[in-house]
Amino acid sequence: MSATDIFGLGGCGLLYVALAAVLFPLRRLSAGVRYAVMMAFAVAVFIPIGGLSLAESMRGTTGDLSVPTLALAASACASRIAGRTLFQPREWSALLGAVAAAGLFLYPFALGLTPFDPYALGYGSAALTTVLLFATLAAWRAGLNLAVLVVVVAAAAYLAGAYESRNLWDYLIDPLAALYGLGRWGSDALRGIGRSFQRRKS
């Protein structure tokens, strides 16, 4: 098994554990049992059943997961298993807003809407790097540590060739993170509209 397989499958395994942590009522269990159950599940997702493990099955569907998706999965595990919050809601809103905006820019064009293909810039483009640098510096100045951390880890993983992809976009964003970000954006917007409606009524 290559290093890229280990990183790719590791990410898929982490997402499985996060989904299990969100879906199962873990809070009813004592801390010791909770850790033991999730450790056993984390091992189980890598054991082949009928030729393939759960992690391999997911990898066939999703491909390798971007750093924002891994951050979301790690956060879900920390919150549901250890009861710890890794970053404040403001940090998540900023990161997911940026990922959603990037998804709205990337996917329609990459899927053939126009002759312009922003995905091609991810193979090594000074322009894309400069845009990302300014966005990262803005996040750093605003104290958005999660966004900075995600960009730094994604860039380091890309430079190290952690995944099969040699395209920077694949480390920065995937459709799961973009859809989650769009959903979060939408629900925040609806909540805002609801609140202003309530205020006007009262």
Partner 1 sequence: MSARALKWTSLAVIALVFAGLYLRALDAPPPAAFVPPRSAAQPAASKPFFKPQLLPNSSTLSVHSATAVELSDGRLRAFWYGGTREGASDVAIYTSVYSPVTGSWEPERMLVSREPAERRLQRSLRKLGNPVAGRDAAGRVWLYYVSVSVGGWAGSAINAMVSPDEGETWSAPRRLIASPFFNISTLVKGPPLRLADGTIALPVYHEFLGKFGELLRLDGEGRVVGKTRLSWGTSSLQPVIVPRSENEAVGFMRYAGDPPGRVLMIRTGDAGARWTAPVKTALPNPNSAVASVLLAGGPLVLVFNNAEENREELALALSADFGDTWRVARSLEGEALPPRAPVPEYSYPWIMQDRSGDVHVLYTWGRSRIKHAVFNRAWLEGGG
Q: Which residues bind partner 1 (CB under 8 A)?
A: 1, 5, 8-9, 51-52, 56-57, 59-63, 106-107, 110-115, 117, 119-120, 122-126, 128-129, 132-133, 136-137, 140, 145, 148, 151-152, 155-156, 158-159, 163-170, 173-175
Question: How far is Cα 64 from Cα 171, in angstroms, rounded to an integer?
Answer: 9
Residue 182 beta carbon to partner 1: minimum distance, rounded to whole angstroms: 14
Residue 58 beta carbon to partner 1: minimum distance, rounded to whole angstroms: 8
Residue 29 beta carbon to partner 1: minimum distance, rounded to whole angstroms: 31
Residue 42 beta carbon to partner 1: minimum distance, rounded to whole angstroms: 18
Q: Which residues pair with 152 in a beta bridge?
A: none
Say which residue the tokens 């397989």 belong to. Answer: 5
Output phi, psi for 139, to 5 deg: -65, -40
What lies within 8 Å, CB to CB, of 79 at 6+ separation is 85, 86
Residue 170 beta carbon to partner 1: minimum distance, rounded to whole angstroms: 6
| Residue with smaller CB distance to partner 1, 11 or 34 | 11
Q: Which long-range contacts (CB under 8 A, 24 or more apart) does 51-55 make?
A: 53/9, 54/12, 54/13, 54/16, 55/9, 55/10, 55/12, 55/13, 55/16
Q: Which residues pair with 52 in a beta bridge?
A: 49
Question: How far is Cα 34 from Cα 37, in angstroms, rounded to an integer?
Answer: 5
| Residue with smaller CB distance to partner 1, 79 or 136 | 136
| Residue with smaller CB distance to partner 1, 18 or 151 | 151
| Residue with smaller CB distance to partner 1, 113 or 193 | 113
| Residue with smaller CB distance to partner 1, 21 or 63 | 63
